[in-house]
Every structure is written in structure tokens, then in C-alpha cells.
A and B are shown apart, each in its own frame.
Chain A
Amino acid sequence: EVQLLESGGGLVQPGGSLRVSCAASGFTFSNYAMSWVRRAPGKGLECVSDISDSGGSTDYADSVKGRFTISRDNSKNTLYLQMNSLRAEDTAVYYCAKGYSESYYAPGDWGQGTLVTVSS
């Protein structure tokens, strides 16, 4: 059974940093692209960032480019999102998601999400 367990969310001040993690199990992590998707209060889903199976290719939403960094450790089956220069508008539930099939980015399995709140 695929399991994706996010951690690291919490309250952070504007301008601060936070790293969220996603521990994966139940599948061969190194064979799948992974994504971070968020849903802000009153807004829709936004694909924040995604990363290829090897980690060699990454992409970011314009809203976070230059501030967020996605990475993965295939030896630890873990996905990361380093978030710097956080803004109030980054407040959201952040979901970790696994590609629905090998070599495909579209999410097929999701974690339950971790809440990030940016506020003073």
C-alpha cells in the first residue's frame, strides 16, 4: 500500500524559512516523479513544484520560483520542500503526491497534507 507522510508544517513568521518532508513507502520511490501541491484557504489547488524520478529535473510555479527548492533523497525514500522568504500568501495545506505511473508527473497518490501558516 502506498503511503505518503508529510511532516514539518507549522507556524512561521513572514520572511522566515521552513522545510517540509514527505516519507514514502509501499512503492519503489526512485521510479516515480513526485510533486508538492498546495491549497490555500479559499483558493484552488496549485502545483508548487515537481521533480523527476532521478531528481535531475525540477519545475516550479512562478509564485514560488527563487524562494522554494524541491529535492529528494532516493536512498531515504524522502521528498523535501525547502521554503524561504515565506509570505502570508504561502499559507496553505501542502500535499506530497506521487506520479500515477512511472515516468508520469500527474499525481496518482496523495498524502494527507501538512499545514503551513505564515503569520506574525
Chain B
Amino acid sequence: SYELTQPPSVSVSPGQTARITCSGDSLTKKSAYWYQQKSGQAPVLVIYEDSKRPSGIPERFSGSISGTMATLTLSGAQVEDEGDYYCYSTDSSGNHRVFGGGTKLTVL
């Protein structure tokens, strides 16, 4: 079955840039989405269709894609950005959707 691969953890100091990667063979053809989940809360969509930001999401969140790798970038990470981040996409058939394993972002 299709898999998306993320690093288990990323750690930065406040104000630094955090980058979280997601690799998957079908990312050359299928869009990537990114979700933030804080402890005890439901997930929140922070990036859709590779690089678009939903209304209400701070401008410091951005997304990009290059080949088979999608990247979520937090420019000037803040303490409140700590949480788990997941990428999401579809296999090459377009019929099966999956989440990456998740990345724990620590900002301290």
C-alpha cells in the first residue's frame, strides 16, 4: 500500500525556520496537504494543494513541492506552533488516501 514518509521529529528555537518533509512516489502527480494537531485537539488544515494557505492560517506557514518531496516551512516558528504535523495525499490511482507518519515539532 502507498506510504508517505516523514521525519519523526524536528526541533528549532523560537524565531528560527522549521522545515518538515514528506516523501512519496506519487507526489509528482498528486497534491500534498498538511495538518497540525495539538495535544487533545482535532487536526487543523494548514496547507492545501501543495502550497495554498486556508484563511486564518498565519503567513509564516508555507508549502512547496519538488519531485517526490513536499515540504512544510514555518518561517519564524513560535512556541504555539508546537505539535504534530502530518502530510496527506493520494496514491497514483487516485483512489486511496493516506497520512504520513507524523512529525513532532518542538520549539524551545
- Taking a contact as CB atoms under 8 Å apart, the answer to whether A44 and B84 are in contact is yes
- Taking a contact as CB atoms under 8 Å apart, the answer to whether A95 and B42 are in contact is yes
Q: B48 contacts the other chain (Cβ, under 8 Å)?
A: yes
Least distance between A24 CB and chain B CB atoms (Å): 15
Least distance between A15 CB and chain B CB atoms (Å): 25
Interface residues of A in 64-89 (CB under 8 A from B): none
B101 surroundings in chain A (CB, below 8 A)? 44
- Taking a contact as CB atoms under 8 Å apart, the answer to whether A45 and B102 are in contact is yes
- A100-113: CB near B (< 8 Å → 1, else 0) gives 10000111101111
Of B15-23, B62-70, B90-98, the one with at least 4 CB within 8 A of chain A: B90-98
Q: B37 contacts the other chain (Cβ, under 8 Å)?
A: yes
- Taking a contact as CB atoms under 8 Å apart, the answer to whether B43 and A106 are in contact is no
Interface residue range, chain A: 20 to 34
| A37–B102 CA distance with the chains assembled, in angstroms | 14
- Taking a contact as CB atoms under 8 Å apart, the answer to whether A106 and B88 are in contact is yes
- Taking a contact as CB atoms under 8 Å apart, the answer to whether A59 and B45 are in contact is no
| A39–B54 CA distance with the chains assembled, in angstroms | 23
- Taking a contact as CB atoms under 8 Å apart, the answer to whether B45 and A108 are in contact is yes
- Taking a contact as CB atoms under 8 Å apart, the answer to whether B86 and A44 are in contact is yes
A107 surroundings in chain B (CB, below 8 A)? 35, 43, 45, 88
Q: A1 contacts the other chain (Cβ, under 8 Å)?
A: no
11 contacts between A and B (CB under 8 A): A35-B97, A37-B99, A45-B35, A45-B37, A45-B86, A47-B98, A105-B90, A106-B88, A107-B88, A108-B45, A111-B42
Which residue numbers of A lie inside 8 Å of B, CB to CB? 35, 37, 39, 44-47, 50, 59, 62, 95, 100, 105-108, 110-113
